[in-house]
Structure formats: structure tokens, C-alpha cells
Amino acid sequence: MHHPYTTESGRRLRSSVRAVMSSAVWFVVSLELVIATLRGIPPPDAAPELALRVATLLGLLALLFYSAAGTFYMFARTRDVVPVQIALRSGYEVFAAFLQTSVH
């Protein structure tokens, strides 16, 4: 009898379930939603608000890239569900290389 993960469809199913159950994935998705809601362009007379909005967006984008790098890295290294704390801790190992490949 074959193990259920030896077939391609079994591996895909396990990968999908692992991604859905990983809190790190939901953290990345929630960051993307926050960034999407903050992207609106304010009126031109709101210069101080614009500077704060740009700084907030840049910080959120950096956190998004950092957490995505850690999440994808841990998915490649382990076969387990990836919690947010582990993804953020492992982000420092690959963040610079992740940014370099994301920009090119």
C-alpha cells in the first residue's frame, strides 16, 4: 500500500493544507490587505498626512518582505506548519537575498 504523500496529488494536498494552517501565511496576507487599504492617494493639501502615510507604507512593505522571506524559507526547510514567530525569526537569514531577487 502506498503512503498518501507519495503521489503528486497527495503532496500538493499536503502543501495546500500546510499553507492554510500556517499562521505566517495569514500574517503575510493580512499585511497585504492593510497595505492595500492604505494605498489610497490623499488630497494634495494633506502634505503632513502624506508623509506619515508614505512612511507607514514603507515600513509595512519592509515588514511584508521580511515576513514573506522568512515564511517561504521555512516552507522550503521544513515540512511543518510555519508559525509567525518562526517566520520572523528566520527572516534575517534570507531577507537580503530575498530583496535582491524581488527587485530584479
Number of domains in the chain: 1
**Does 2 have pLDDT greater than 60?**
no
Report if residue 95 sits inside a domain.
Answer: yes
**Does 62 fall in a domain?**
yes
Establish if 2 belongs to a structural domain. Answer: no
Q: Which of these, 58, 78, 56, lies nearest to 66 by C-alpha position?
A: 58
In a domain, 3, yes or no: no
Question: Could you tell me if residue 39 is inside a domain?
Answer: yes
Tens digit of pLDDT for each residue in 17-30?
888 888 899 999 99
> What is the spatial distance between Cα 104 and Cα 90, in angstroms, rounded to a whole number?
22
- Give a yes or no: residue 87 inside a domain: yes
Instruction: Give the cell for residue 81.
Output: 506548519
Please report whether residue 49 resides in a domain. yes
User: For residue 1, is it within any domain?
Assistant: no
Percent of the residues in the chain that have a pLDDT greater than 90, as a whole number? 29
Kindly report the CA angle at 26 between 39 and 87, in degrees rounded to 5?
105
Q: If we measure between CA atoms, which residue out of 87, 68, 88, 66 comes closest to residue 78?
A: 87
Q: Nine-digit cell at 56?
A: 507607514
Phi then psi for residue 81, to 5 deg, are -70, 145
**Which is more confident, 8 or 2?**
8
pLDDT one-digit tens code per residue, 36-94 = 888 776 666 767 777 788 888 899 999 998 999 899 899 889 888 999 999 999 988 88
Note down the domain range covering 58: 8-103
Residue 79's pLDDT is what? 86
Q: Which pLDDT value is given to residue 83?
A: 92
Q: What is the pLDDT of residue 41?
A: 63
